Amino acid sequence: MSFISSIKKDGDNIILYKCGEPMPELLISVEDVITIGFLDTETTGLDKSNDQIIELAVKVVKFEEKSGKIISIDHEYESFNDPNEKLDEKIIQITGITDEMVDGQSIDWPLVDNIFKGTDFVVSHNASFDRPFVDRDSSVSPYLVWACSMDDIDWLQRGFTNTKQELLCYWHGFYFDAHRAMNDVDAMINLLTHSHYDDDDRPLTELINNSKKHTYIIKVTNFPFDEIKKNTIKANGYNWNAIEKLWYKMVSLTELENEKEWLTGVVYETYFKGLVEEINIVDKYKL
């Protein structure tokens, strides 16, 4: 499957609608309530240690936990941030953000922290990217649970072969002006609460459930340098940790033994020689 079955068509053509702001639903009664902060950043580059945020957007939404239906939009905040350096031309082309737009602007981190305090957890579409940037400047974020709408949802099991947000939105029948922080946030919320899904099968409910689970990190220590093996594990979702100089992957408890067995066959050949560390839910996506 690529496009969802309920998508609108005109003959052989797919009809896409433009994503709007998420709206609360009229609910007669509400059971358990959960409050989630959705976040997106635009940055000067990909280096989590040295690059800087140039735009931040946060939207706090209250949901009925069981159904994933929106009860209310509680807070929203967006701001440019001046990195005090000229923006790379590629960043300007990708985001549409210019030096003039960020000049003299700054994020009100005390306000952002106050917003964070009212959430059960924070979500971004690539939490492993966004979180390190936010943790550097927020006094609250390092102690929050973060979830990822890319990695905490099994999009492949749902029939989608790519987890890029723009593609997932296209496959769900809508588009948006990407790489502007609040647009990305609104698109993420619309994707996770899409009306195509039944209440108990919405991507949001899967994400909520997975946000409560501990994860494990497999570190490929004792890795015999081999270009073919490197490309193989990279293709299987392993990332490079430049500080520890090793490949790693985050997996769930149910995936752990199968992943160790796969890694043994591909890399170690005899027995598993890597390391496994349990990650507390508060520490997810800090790498």
* Domains, in order of start, for the chain: 9-211 (3.30.420.10), 215-283 (3.30.70)
Task: Tell which phi-psi region holds residue 184, choosing left (phi > 0), alpha (psi between -120 and 50) or beta.
Answer: alpha
| Alpha carbon distance 219, 206 (integer Å) | 26
Which DSSP letter does residue 244 get?
T
| Alpha carbon distance 85, 23 (integer Å) | 38
| Alpha carbon distance 139, 124 (integer Å) | 18
- Show Cβ contacts of residue 127 under 8 Å, excluding neighbours closer than 6 positions: 146, 147, 148, 150, 151, 284, 285
Q: Is the dihedral of CA 5, 6, 9, 11 positive or negative?
A: positive
| Alpha carbon distance 251, 269 (integer Å) | 21
| Alpha carbon distance 62, 35 (integer Å) | 4
10-residue stretch averages of pLDDT, the chain, 287 residues long: 84 90 86 95 93 98 94 97 96 95 98 97 96 97 97 94 95 92 97 92 95 92 88 91 88 92 92 94 89
Q: Is 92 exposed, middle or buried (0-12, 13-18, 19+ CB in 10 A)?
A: middle
Q: Would you state the torsion angle of the CA atoms of residues 254, 255, 260, 261, taken in this order, to the nearest 10 degrees?
A: 90
Predicted confidence at residue 155, as pLDDT, reads 95
| Alpha carbon distance 70, 161 (integer Å) | 28
Q: 161-176: buried (b, 16+ CB within 10 Å) or exposed (e) per residue?
A: eebebeebbbbbbbeb
**C-alpha to C-alpha distances, 122 to 2, 158, 169, 211, nearest whole angstrom:** 28, 23, 20, 10
What angle do the packed helices 181-192 and 203-211 form, to 10 degrees? 100
Predicted confidence at residue 82, as pLDDT, reads 98
Predicted confidence at residue 1, as pLDDT, reads 59
Is the CB of residue 170 less than 8 Å from the CB of residue 145?
A: no
| Alpha carbon distance 182, 115 (integer Å) | 16
Is the CB of residue 188 less than 8 Å from the CB of residue 163?
A: no
Residue whose structure tokens are 């994707």 = 191
Which DSSP letter does residue 264 get?
I
| Alpha carbon distance 103, 284 (integer Å) | 33
Residue 14 tokens read as: 């797919």
Sequence length of the chain is 287
Predicted confidence at residue 138, as pLDDT, reads 98
Residue 199 tokens read as: 């209440």
Which DSSP letter does residue 237 get?
T
Residue whose structure tokens are 């936010």 = 134
